[in-house]
Chain A
Amino acid sequence: EAQVTQNPRYLITVTGKKLTVTCSQNMNHEYMSWYRQDPGLGLRQIYYSMNVEVTDKGDVPEGYKVSRKEKRNFPLILESPSPNQTSLYFCASSFQGGGNQPQHFGDGTRLSIL
């Protein structure tokens, strides 16, 4: 089954404790992206990757890191999480970054930073 898998689905942690949210897709997609979704603010792009070893900042990259060492994986790293990073996070992928390809979303990760 074609899917985008995020882990964990839920996480409660404390300020300053490094965490990683994993994202994996099995569709051989070149493009992958991370979003956060907050009430009243909609979906905002954090980082995206056009292909292996190619990453770029989205609209709200501060406080986040990503890496793309393999085509299927695109982890989101919070080196020193803070309460303002409490949010619902989605990973998405598409066949290509350009063109007309729609994005497929993972089920989401709800992060709470205390």
Chain B
Amino acid sequence: QKEVEQNSGPLSVPEGAIASLNCTYSDRGSQSFFWYRQYSGKSPELIMFIYSNGDKEDGRFTAQLNKASQYVSLLIRDSQPSDSATYLCAVKDDKIIFGKGTRLHILP
């Protein structure tokens, strides 16, 4: 059974600090990795995607992938209260599998 694991949280981070969200996956054949943000009662929206080992930056967001360790992370710099949401990690090989999400709370 392919699995994607995330700490459910809540992860509390002071405003302006760096939020670090982590995700591990079981399928070594996974090729694509996605981070979605989901506000309560709303649909998931794509934040970042990464396919290659290393870092990928987009504005305040950085995705990090380490395929050898089967680990993908999302860093949010200069955290804002509007970043408070649940962050879903998704991993894809032949099919996409979502983690259960990490609740992030940015403290004003």
Contact = CB atoms under 8 A, between A and B. Distances in A.
Interface of A: 33, 35, 40-43, 45, 48, 58, 90, 98-100, 102-108
Contacts, number: 42
B33 to A, nearest CB: 9
Nearest to A104: B46
Interface residues of B, number: 21
By secondary structure, the A interface counts as loop
Interface in B16-51: 31-32, 34, 41-46, 49, 51
Contact of B44 (A33, A43, A58): A43
Contacts of B101: 42
A90 B42 CA distance: 10
A40 B100 contact: yes
Residue among A58, A90, A102, A107 with the highest chain B CB neighbour number at 10 A: A102
Contact of A42 (B31, B92, B94, B99): B99
B42 A108 contact: yes
